[in-house]
A and B are shown apart, each in its own frame.
Chain A
Amino acid sequence: MTSTKLKFGYLRRHPQLVAGTIILLFLALFASVGRLLVDPKEAYPISAQPRQAPSMEYPLGTDIQGRNLLAVAVVGTYLTSKIGVIAGTLGITLGTILGFITAYFGGWLDRVIKIIVDVLLTIPQLLILVVIASSINEPLTTNMMALVVASLSWMWSTRTVRSQVLSLRERAFVRVAKLSGEGSLEIIFRELMPNLLPLLGACLVSTVMGAVFVSLGLEVLGLGPQREPTLGMTMYWMSFYGAFNRGMWWWIATPVVILVMLFVGLYLVSAGLDEIANPKLRRKI
């Protein structure tokens, strides 16, 4: 088989992964290259004529407080993704470490952590974060939001990693490694990790998705960083100022379209990674 046939075969076999990655790459490009094309300062109030419909000067229009929505789109995509990525990465790192420890060493530690994880998973993330965020009186920055969200993002990864490690631990190749004298740490890194990578990838993406979802929820409720033009805050302002009634459809469309793209992209990637981790789900050509 020629190599081009192989490459297209890969594309055909994992259309979701490819499509999702393309969407995410596009958004990343938009946020990064966009900064060069638009002045990020215009994402803040009183930088442009307010209430303008899309035109040559303002391709995405402006909002009621005079923000250039194209700038808002660029900066907002960056900020919202940043929150998601930071919270997601922190969450999955913590979760993976915990998952490994609890599965590998077992015993009472395992039971305690398992109960904690189960309890925390039952409670909807958003609600507790609403309680926390509303009790904090100072205005939040995006970084603080990321940390707050991260604090409740680790449980799913812990649970997934734990169950995978538990099932792998008893498999033959781990026993062989033990018999050959590999130490615990070595076993963790050289034997167990490589098998977990696709799963970890899928976990990372879902944790990021969850983090973006929750931070969006907080922002839409009005608990987000008030001064930053994240996508969620844009949605908050848009409903606060009644964009629907004013017919300012561009104000509604901008964050909605970008957010839908973000979620669709993340979802496709996570579904694609799921397919890789579980080959039975792969399509037959």
Chain B
Amino acid sequence: MRLSKILERVFILFLVLWLASTVNFIIPRLVDKNPIRERLIQMSISGNYQAGFEQMVAAYEEKFGLDQPLWNQYINYMNDMLHLDFGYSFTGYPMRVSEQIANALPWTIGLLTTATLIAFLLGSLLGALLAWPGSPKFLNFFTGPLMVFAGVPYYLFGLILIYFLGVQTNIFPVYGAMTPGVVYENEWAKYLDILKHSILPALSIVLASAGGWALNMRGMMVTIQGEDYMINAEAKGLTGKRRFFAYGIRNALLPQVTNLALSLGFVVSGSILVEMVFGYPGMGALLSSSVKLFDYQTLYGVVFIIILAISVSTLILDLIYPFLDPRINSQDR
């Protein structure tokens, strides 16, 4: 039955991708004037284009021109999607969108995964400790505010951090991923610079999201402590440490990981905006600049890739789940 579950998940993955790309296809065509074409026209009128612009327009017209029946356009479009070809970027011409994305993606993945992982692990541990009798009281003091701020969007935190830690006191850099125009003596210096620049954005994400994980974990641990096997574990005279980790956290981890999978969309949206605030050259910056400059090709490409990434991550998490919970395999539903 595991195979059928996997297939079901993969099916949904493709469904999501198909839906996303179709939406990207339909929306510009639903509106009165196709904004892509409008933009192209605008650009040629205002004359700010580079060499090869006419070829680009011609290439576009060939695939998506008005003389093409809608159906053909759609097939061309889907074909492109399968090859992850999003066309040319208007603003970065002659770069193709996929190139721009390839440049931006590593930054986002680095920042996002690291920050989310830290927040998830730290938050869950804190939350679990909060629910455990006999853990130090000062943790309450510390985690309480974190939990209160769990609903605040990450970038609001970012702004606050920028102000207090960046502008006022100049401890951390507040913009970009690396100091511009600097020549590095060695690889170490480069990495250190990158690290320094990533601290504030990562901190915004961690501070804002750790509270949410903590709260969830705490609730889970409270429920688990009432379970029969916990009581029996204590009756067995197991050490507090073993009960906390092997009996408590191990069981609370399962729903917590599900929560992670469910909130991936939210986490990604949040960190995209954080990137914007910090000028971090990831997908967020790409998204924001493509919106500002009406670079629709890039916009659609970015959106598609993000959705792809989220769906694939969700699928991966789904596949991991049976390893965490031995009961999943045997159950048919």
Contact = CB atoms under 8 A, between A and B. Distances in A.
Q: Do chains A and B directly touch (beta carbons under 8 Å) in the complex?
A: yes
Contacts of B311: 122
Nearest to B24: A131
A230 B15 CA distance: 36
A217 B265 CA distance: 14
Given A121-B265, A264-B149, A266-B151, A131 B300 contact: yes
A281 B269 contact: no
Contacts of B156: 256, 259-260, 263
Contact of A270 (B12, B31, B151, B314): B151
Interface in A243-280: 244, 249, 252, 256, 259-260, 263-264, 266-268, 270-271, 278, 280
B15 A115 contact: yes
Contacts of B314: 122
A244 B266 CA distance: 27
A183 B160 CA distance: 55
B222 interface: yes
| Interface of B, helix, strand, loop or mixed by DSSP | helix
A217 B291 CA distance: 12
A221 B163 contact: no
A137 B150 contact: no
Q: What are the nearest 7 A-B pairs in CB distance?
A: A267-B151, A124-B265, A126-B269, A263-B152, A124-B269, A263-B151, A127-B303
Interface of A: 115, 118-119, 121-128, 130-132, 134-137, 209, 213, 216-217, 220-223, 235, 239, 244, 249, 252, 256, 259-260, 263-264, 266-268, 270-271, 278, 280-281
21 contacts: A119-B19, A122-B265, A122-B311, A124-B306, A125-B269, A127-B306, A128-B303, A131-B24, A131-B27, A131-B303, A137-B38, A217-B269, A220-B155, A221-B291, A256-B160, A259-B152, A260-B156, A267-B149, A267-B151, A267-B152, A278-B219
Interface of B: 12, 15-16, 19-20, 23-24, 27-28, 30-33, 35, 38, 148-153, 155-156, 159-160, 162-163, 167, 174, 215, 219, 222-223, 226, 262, 265-266, 268-269, 272-273, 276-277, 287-288, 291-292, 294, 296, 299-300, 303, 306-307, 310-311, 314
